[in-house]
Structure 1
Amino acid sequence: MRRVSLLLATGLLAGTGAVAVADVEPPVLHAAQQRGTAVVSALPAVPPTPKTVDGQTGDWAGEAAGFSGLSHYSAGELVHADYLFDAFGAEDGDDVDRVSRNDALEEASPGFYRLEPTYQYDIGGQVGAPTGEVGLGGEPVYGDAQDTDGGGHVAAADLREVRVAADASTVSLLVRTTTMTADRSAGVVVLADTVDGSSAYDVPFGSGLRTERADVALLVARTGGVAVDLATGTRTAFPVAADDSGYDNVLEAGIPRALVERSAKDKPGKGKGKALGHKPRLQLALAAGVSDGADGLVDLQGEDADVVNVANVAFRPDEPVRIRFDKRQAFALHDGTIDPFFVDVDVDGLLAGRTEALRPGAGYHERQFTSSEQISVEGDRDGIWQPYGVYVPSSYDGTTPTRTTYWMHWRGGDTHDAAVVSPRTMRDFGEDVGGLVIAPRGRGTSTWYVGKAQVDFREVWDDVLSTFAVDEDRVYVTGHSMGGWASYLLSILYPDRFAAALPYAGVPTQGLWAGCEFDDNCWQGTNGGNAKDQWTTPLLENLRNVPIAISHGALDELVPVTGVTRQAEKLATLGYRYRYYLFPTYEHYSHPIHDEWAEGARYASEFTRDENPARVTYLRSMPFERTVETGPDQGRPYAGLDFSFDSAYWMSGLSPVDGQRGVAKVDAVSLAKAAAPVLTVPEAGGPAALGQLGPYAMQGLRWTADPLAAAPAAVNGFTATLTGASAVAFDLARMGISASAPVTGAVTTEAPLALSLRGGWTSVPAVTGATVTSLVDGVLTLQLPAGT
């Protein structure tokens, strides 16, 4: 533990070494990751749909962009996506001096930004030591509001989406939260600035807020809506409908325009409303607390002092990138106001059906997607709406296929931790190589990307492909610690998705492997894992077509270097492309502290995916597969998931003889591809590189074209060797094999095998050496006896 704090102090105070020519930052002292921008373009108007206050969303026709903090117009609706899981309310005063001091240091020298996440991230706690030993706070959020159950996140007030529409007489408001139940729902405070030069007022409803801008305050709750003229106290009711069924979580209101709109005939003069002209204006701010079931809000308490009774504020596009995107919110609420977050709504645009396209611009974003109900539970952060982080490089235009790197967070981490704690991840894997960086949440902090977290990865994968222009031949996976494990896990399970893998301080199993095999104690699980069943080393054969660069510290106190070294030795024995970077002075957290990833990014850049390689080697381990389906806690196995990791490239349907504990392996070669011979040659490097000061020693293997060997002649056939398998299928077209000509196949199988060939046949062809069992939809299935 002492090593961690000393290394951090040394890096922060003495980082003055050589810097890459293109690098404007000293080592360690790296500037904050910049918040992503919005690229908005006008589209033809779409007539708005009439709204009915019924708590249903079917008459809200605008399309959601799904990027947190950003707003746009669609079908005459202002559509705003709020940040997910950020309802932490006001800062209660304990962080004011520290944050002010750190902000001043950051303004003087941007690299001092890293002091703030160092305080927020409990480094001591990460290695099991008391936080006080290193003097760090470990408070990942700025807000200190406590829910009535004592929890630190006010889930019922967690805004997900806000929409505003209008017709000739009514402003329609739709508010959706991540959590709503019949007995617990949001109370939404709306402030309206309707006249020029408002006085200061206390905001009613037990909100604890004060405003120097608004003159009308409204409360929207499932019990009804009320607007209060802050100057006169006049109260006006308006209709509200709610729907807590499923995951809609809707509060819908119909507010008379006259209550909240600047009059079209009111021409403001000097001051904040200058130059507004005669157009009708709607200026709103909105925040959510928890409804008390009557006409007010539940009282919230802070950790150390009383706080205002709203926990989440909408319309904050300029929140800096933080673990929960709540810094500006927390300190504005500490001051008792939401005045900084007024939005100017284009009423004429609402009436005319104003419509825009929004795509994420350069910088870091939170993306929202709809998860499956199968793994979702109404409550706090386990619902159907989930986030992932995405860095968008300045070169991204929304149409050109772009390299993409998946960053998998460490154990104890969350979606945005890398962007906050180690901001150079987004530059080294993103901006400097013109790439997107995707940061999945994994349904929690310590889920090991199995069970629900594996579903999360697959759902994020699908959303990324449907949302962004991805170059599918240049997709990479990387991560630190548990994220390093995920770099092994995902590239082994899905080798046909990745061009390269880059584990940092990655453990070869869910827990640790000491590098020995003579005793079960060589494997030790964590978070309920079965470390021996989840051991990736025997499955490294799946990486024949996925180069991998392993980076590890010799002093790692959590992931023994012995096991990782054996991992590298296995790759060397296989003759695969790999690099092993060993850092003699690094411990477990040195990589995110030093925050240097450029060498790995450069290595990955050398490779593109071969979607249909000449040779495929793939193992399907049923014990491993079961832990991925039921994990992470094998003592409380998750039920109902079936992943069937049985395919890669042009091979599919790989089935083991023993469906419970068996391991099936296929090693198949398409002779039609006639791959050029390569030489496997060693490589070495160190002790430093541009953007990677080290010191490190690197060894590995590289494939290079054999100048003395000619490519073999193409043959319309294949070879395959199988062990422990009862069935497998090959796609002949993807193998480059023509089904309209004679096909030869040399198959060696340890057990009787059902071999299916997808060839598009319309009638059964002549077959020798095997028994035809079926021809269905162009797929010919043969039964082969054990042997050759």
Structure 2
Amino acid sequence: MCARVPVLAALLISLAACGGQSSSSVDPASLEGEIVQTRGAVPSGAPPAAFGELPLRASPPSWPFDDGAPRTSGTGRYAYGAYYWTDFIYDANGAKGPNVPFYRIGTPTGGSLHYPQASMAGNGADLFVVALGRRNGELFLRVDWQTLIDHSVPVAAFAVDNQPGGSDNWPGIAGLRSPGVDALVLLSANGAFIDYNDGNGPQLVAPVTVDMETRTFVAALPEDILATDTPWTLYVASGINDGEGGFLNDNAGFRSLPNQPPVFNLAFRDYEDEPALFNFWFDENQSMALNTGDVSAFSQQIDWARMGETEPEPLRYGYSNRWYISSVSGSELGDGGFAAGVDRSEAGVVADPGYYDTVQPYGIYIPSSYLPSSATPSLFTWLLHSFTQNHNQYSASVPNYLLAACETLRQSVCVSPLGRGSAGYYEAAAELDFWEVWRDVAAHFNIDNEAVFTTGYSMGAIGSINLMVKYPEVFFGGVILAGSHASAQLLPCSLDNNGCVEPKGPELMENLKWNGYYQAHGTFDQLVPFPDARATADGMRDFGYRYVFDHYLVEDHIVWTLKDAGYSAFQKAAQWMVEWQSSEVRRRSAPGELVYRWEPHMVNLDWGLGPRGAWWLEDVQALDGAEYAEIRAQSGALPEPEILPKASVGELIFPDATTLSPAVRDGLSWELGSLENTTGELRAGLTQVAALTINLQEAAIAERPDKRIELDSDGPYQLRLIGLPAGQRVQAAGQSLQASNGSVVLTMPAGESTVVFP
């Protein structure tokens, strides 16, 4: 057991002992109350997808207890009269067979068993929740499946050691062993069968109620069928139903070796059992155990005397996985061929499985300084994964950057979404996942939404830029590692297996005037050529915006990130976040001038995604068919000081004890001059804009007696003004209207126009 290390000085010792991560946790009994939906909102400027009530997880009607499944995978709790265990998600990969599928190369699974039938949805034996309890003379056993489109597919086995003696072998499951097995209960759509390991085979003892909505199997057994007067040592395994309620053993179909048991998933594996380093799905030790058949390490003590307790929701420090319920799943994600489960396609070049289930995982790091009840919320940081990677990339292969960004240099709650797959570029379904994860984190953790960094490597870097340019109001700053947003003239674009991946160039980055920006890139990058990265940073320079660009002279794309497992390859990036935090404190609110450029095709009204405006510009709409639209606006009531850009070029960064690679740094900072005089005039220039809303309260001119708006547009548009005083009259373009509920809508012509408030 790796105990909690409360002092940072001892943290690195703890990390080495715990497989590269802080695996400390708080005893749930020490927490006061549950950590539930009591936290801060997602920040202003986020799209509608980020807001609203969290979807509640339904409980199957046949389950007589309130639901208490922990939201942290790899943890359990007694709650509401039952015991609940939440397993890791998408970890049902069994032993490592001889033919590792191609789709597991990017984020390798520990096991490599294959699901041969379409009805198995590429994930049909994945345990999500295991629970058991007793009430009114009945013993209830429950399994929730992560993926279930055909109730006849999975089977679960409860191996019980509740008395002296027993056998080392699990009856009916070839090659599976653990000490002292007295009975095996099999749950499948065929019913609940019990095998007392006495040679008489399994006997049907109760029906199993299948609830497809919750993907749940529940069996109510006579309580005296298994003694509960003493604690149990319990093991749970899953596999594919042989049609009669047993485990199918299909070496050819599963691509397994003859001596490997036909088991895909084992419950009761925690973070000590599955150290995070190089463990992308938290199934490495599971696969090793199944290679030998000895699963004795993965058990849970069930103390029936504690069934009346309700423990708090586990809060785990260090790195872990959590889950949330998405608003979309299956064919809603755009591919009608997948009702649920995992796209395990092996055709094609791109390893890009999609994850179609309602329940989705995300990675989270909780620093040792985090206090749920503190008046000072924790910093909050996004770590977006690369192409072909998953939500555990940073814990598995970039652990030193994870620690520097989240623990040792700065204490921050850090989160990595799965993004519905390995190649979503944080657009469409991948972007929806991002915002829904943020909503979940904000509901359950004490985080500061006013100073949020988005960071990422490769695709994660591209995604970070894309999210910032769509929603500049939301983010405090961004860290761009081995990514770009521009195509240099030297090359037509950066290529990957899908073709050109970057947007049209740095033009959209003109939105980032008030965001911090750090970028690092290697000379020998094979996937995102250095000229593209250089052109991206040069865009920030040409706009006169603040940025830092570290050019690593001898680094590439692939090896560079893998080096971080040995030393902190990205220490300078984490240090920059510390410095920006110190100088700026929080995200910019209501700037006096801004540029907002957007691409209309990025708006998805059905999912509540896409660019809608920033700060006091809201509900923007582009002309039909426009490739882009742009608003340049300035409020005289929010005066900005004169900005004097100060460039720095050619600073050599020598290798040091943590970052073992030389770099050359350039950047641009601001010196601020005199403040402009305050006026009530608001100016805006519009290009290809069909409609916009100006919030006059946020622009600080609503109450001013000298307020007026000067507009210039290349076409007609609709203008909505909000935040007006009661009874305010508005005149423009031959219209004279009185505000209703602080709002007025004007039809404006092309060209120059003036709005006055007599």
TM-score bracket for the superposition, by shorter chain length: 0.7 to 0.9
For 2:636 and 2:298, the matched residues in 1 are separated by 64
Aligned to 1:102: none
Q: CA deviation at 1:251?
A: 0.5
Identify the match of residue 268 of structure 2 among 306, 315, 326.
315
Corresponding residue SS for 2:437:
helix
Q: What letter is aligned with 1:33?
A: Q
What is residue 302 of structure 2 aligned with on the other side?
Answer: 345
For 1:249, the equivalent position in structure 2 comes to: 215
Give yes or no for contact 1:599–1:689 (8 Å, CA) kept in 2: no
Secondary structure of the structure 2 residue equivalent to 1:726: strand
Alpha-carbon separation, structure 1, partners of 2:378 and 2:364? 13
Structure 1 spans left out of the alignment, 5+ residues: 1-20, 46-53, 95-119, 127-136, 264-279, 630-638
1:561 corresponds to which residue? Answer: 530
Letter in 2 for 1:329: Q
Change (3 A) 1:343 1:599: same
The whole-number CA distance in structure 1 between the counterparts of 2:637 and 2:193 is 75
**1:718 partnered with 2:696:** no
1:377 and 2:346 equivalent?
no
Q: 1:34 aligns with which of 13, 18, 22?
A: 22
1:286 CA drift (Å): 0.9
Distance 1:577 1:784, change over 3 A: same
Cα distance in 2, alignment partners of residues 562 and 253 from structure 1: 62
Tell whether 2:544 aligns with 1:584.
Answer: no
Alpha-carbon distance, 1:36 to partner: 5.6
- SS state of the match for residue 474, structure 1? coil
Q: 2-side partners of 1:189 and 1:500: how far apart?
A: 49
Q: Map 1:351-750; keep pairs closer than 5 Å.
A: 352=308, 354-371=309-326, 372-373=328-329, 374-375=332-333, 377-380=339-342, 381-399=355-373, 400-432=376-408, 433-508=410-485, 513-516=487-490, 522-523=492-493, 526=496, 528=498, 531=501, 534-595=503-564, 596-605=569-578, 606-607=580-581, 608-622=586-600, 625=602, 643-657=609-623, 659-684=624-649, 685-688=651-654, 691-706=658-673, 709=674, 711-739=675-703, 741-750=705-714
Separation in structure 2 between the aligned mates of residue 421 and residue 150 of structure 1, nearest angstrom: 32
Aligned to 2:351: none
Instruction: Determine if contact 1:477/1:500 at 8 Å carries over to the other structure.
Output: yes
Following superposition, the deviation at residue 43 of structure 1 comes to 6.8
The answer on 1:258 being equivalent to 2:232 is no
Deviations 1:90-110 (A, max 9, x none): 24599xxxxxxxxxxxxxxxx
1:234/1:35 Cα in 2 relative to 1: closer, same or farther (>3 Å)?
same
C-alpha contact 1:121 1:138 (8 A) present in aligned 2: no
Alpha-carbon shift at residue 283 of structure 1 (Å): 3.0
Secondary structure of the structure 2 residue equivalent to 1:545: coil
**1:176 counterpart = 2:144:** yes
Q: What pairs up with 1:66-85 in 2 under 5 angstroms?
A: 66-85=71-90
Shift of 1:590: 4.3
Q: d(CA) in 2 for partners of 1:291 and 1:388?
A: 29
Matching residue of 2:288 = 331
By how many angstroms is 1:486 displaced? Answer: 0.8
2:40 maps to what in 1? none
Q: Which of 207, 210, 225 is 1:240 aligned to?
A: 207
Deviation at 1:528, TM superposition (A): 4.3
What is the DSSP-based 3-state SS (H/G/I as helix, E as strand, rest coil) of the residue aligned with 2:180? coil
Q: Does structure 2 retain, via aligned residues, the 8 Å contact 1:228–1:236?
A: yes
How big is each residue's C-alpha offset from its partner over 1:590-637, in whole Å with a ceiling of 9 and x where there is no partner? Answer: 4313322221122223142113222221101235x27xx6xxxxxxxx
- Contact between 1:157 and 1:311, CA under 8 Å: does it hold in 2? yes
CA-CA distance at 1:386 after TM superposition: 1.0
Offset of 1:58 from its aligned partner?
Answer: 6.6
Is the contact made by 1:84 and 1:159 (CA closer than 8 Å) also made in structure 2?
Answer: yes
Contact 1:473 1:609 in 2 (8 A): yes
In structure 2, relative to structure 1, the CA distance for the partners of 1:567 and 1:650 (3 Å cut) is same
Moved more, 83-92 or 498-507: 83-92
Deviation at 1:554, TM superposition (A): 1.4
What's the TM-score once normalised by structure 2's chain length? 0.82
Say whether residues 1:162 and 2:150 are aligned partners. Answer: no
Report the Cα offset of residue 348 of structure 1. Answer: 2.4
Change (3 A) 1:662 1:417: closer
How far apart, CA to CA, are the structure 1 residues paired with 2:293 and 2:173? 12
CA distance in 1, matches of 2:500, 2:600: 13
Name the residue aligned to 2:46: none
171, 188, 197: which is aligned to 1:230?
A: 197
Contact between 1:145 and 1:300, CA under 8 Å: does it hold in 2?
no
For structure 1, which segment, 304-313 or 219-228, has the greater mean C-alpha deviation from structure 2 after superposition?
Answer: 304-313
Give the TM-score normalised by structure 1: 0.79
**1:287 alignment partner in structure 2:** 237
Q: Structure 2 CA distance, aligned partners of 1:769 and 1:138?
A: 59
8 Å contact 1:85–1:153 — kept in the other structure? no
Computed over aligned residues only, the root mean square deviation of the Cα atoms, in angstroms, reads 3.3
Whole-angstrom distance in 2 between the partners of 1:442 and 1:185: 27
> Could you tell me whether the CA contact under 8 Å between 1:154 and 1:311 is conserved in 2?
no
Counterpart of 1:387, as a letter, is: P
Q: Which of residues 134, 154, 159 is equivalent to 1:191?
A: 159
CA contact (8 A) 2:101 2:112 kept: no
Conserved 8 A contact 2:525-2:557: yes
* Aligned residue identity for 2:392: H
Note if contact 1:148-1:300 (Cα within 8 Å) is conserved in structure 2: no
Q: Quick one: distance in 2 between partners of 1:413 and 1:370?
A: 22
Please give the per-residue CA displacement for 1:313-361, whole angstroms capped at 9, x wherever unaligned: 11111321110101222222223233322212232232x3x11222433
Alpha carbons of 1:93 and 1:171: their partners in 2 closer, same or farther (altered >3 Å)? farther
Q: CA deviation at 1:439?
A: 0.9
Q: Contact (CA 8 Å) 1:739, 1:759: kept in 2 or not?
A: no
> Could you say what secondary structure the match of 1:497 adopts?
coil
Could you list the per-position Cα deviations for residues 172-219 of structure 1 after superposition, in whole angstroms to 9, with x for gaps in the alignment?
Answer: 1221111223364321110111212x2434322335323322211111
